Amino acid sequence: MESFEVILKPICLVILIVLCLHAMPSSCNFTSFVFGDSLVDAGNNDYIFTLSKADSPPYGIDFTPSGGQPTGRFTNGRTIADIVGQSLGAKSFPPPYLAPNTEAQAILRGINYASGASGIMDKTGFFFIGRIPLGEQVSNFEQNRIYMVNEMGENYTRKFLRKAIFSLTIGSNDVLNYIQPSIPFLRHDKVSPSTFLDFMISNLTLQLERLHEMGARKFIVVGVGPLGCIPFVRALKLLGSGQCSSAVNTLIQAYNHRLKELLSRLNQEMGPETIFVFANSYDVFMDIIANYHQYGLENANDPCCGGYFPPFVCFKSSDANTSALCDDRSKYVFWDAYHPTEAANLIIAKQLVDGDENVSFPINIRKLYNYNNS
């Protein structure tokens, strides 16, 4: 009986994919492969030795599927990737790559490879010890792809992957590492801002090309948000309430400009069957900060959890009272010193999914999902 199930399961998966590939996308399960950092990590860091973890309360306090228990997400509820998937019909979330027995899920739901503290460049986040850089995340996808080919062959694997969404939300930690003061004993001299941005773009280009070579055709690449306005950077730069670091935000805008140019070039070179969408999270998040009252929010300065000053730790104390947790999480822009609340993520995701070309270029995420590239 057991051997019969082993034989039957791959056959059922292949039948499912064949039916899906010959139907309209809306009739199939939404499949996404998520790459990135703590903004979209769904629990991979729970499985490695790292100082960058979200595996204790009150993280996940508003995440309904877990009953309010931590899942490794660095926010109180859903990430932007979670919400985007649900908006496009996903019935469940892609599991973290490092969770046990996830290979078959790659065919059904996709996989989340994201890792807190990670960056585009391999050395980013080394202070946190463990993390999975973007290049390693792409290599992990390569392992999942081998499984797919073994189960349904190269031809159907390529047909399947050309319909899936590949999202990359990464770059914030590279910038945060760059702007922090150098540590003298490490004797690490900083390169110029322009050279630093060249490194980011060239390394990202390499990983996008690797994914494309393996069959990815629908890409969402999220720009870096206004880190000059997050509580951690405002504290680092000794800025008062409501102020942002213009130097940090100028650097990020320069990166986002280069990123958009890169994606436009790749669209020209690889289109029309391949499409890269630039998700302008910077402008969306800046608008939330500037006009938070219009979005029903009440605080765009302070983190809901963890305090405004070092060590910025968000935790639940032993007496069952949550440390520095705000009264109404739905009214705050920032969950902790680094990450948005689910309330802010909902606003950002909605605009990325259905917004105009100022938010998602050249088309929004819903149009990307329905884009016929066969």
Active site residues: 38, 336, 339
Distances (CA, A) of 21 to 28, 144, 270, 369: 8, 19, 22, 14
**Which tokens hold the place of 12?**
């059922």
3-class secondary structure per residue, 115-143 = CCCCCCCCCCCHHHCCCCCHHHHHHHHHH
* Dihedral Cα 249, 252, 253, 259, nearest 10 deg: -170
Among 247, 237, 251, which Cα is nearest to 308's?
237
Q: Alpha-carbon distance 329 to 312, whole Å?
A: 17
DSSP string covering 149-163, please? HHHHHHHHHHHHHHH
CA angle 358, 304, 285 (to 5 degrees): 5
Q: Alpha-carbon distance 318 to 162, whole Å?
A: 49
**Which tokens hold the place of 114?**
């994201």
- Cβ atoms 228, 244 nearer than 8 A: yes
CA angle 254, 258, 263 (to 5 degrees): 145
**Which tokens hold the place of 110?**
């996709």
**Which tokens hold the place of 84?**
């985007």
Q: Are strands 360-361 and 275-279 parallel, antiparallel or unpaired?
A: antiparallel
Among 45, 150, 46, 47, which Cα is nearest to 107's?
150
Beta bridge partners of 322: 316
Q: Alpha-carbon distance 29 to 155, whole Å?
A: 20
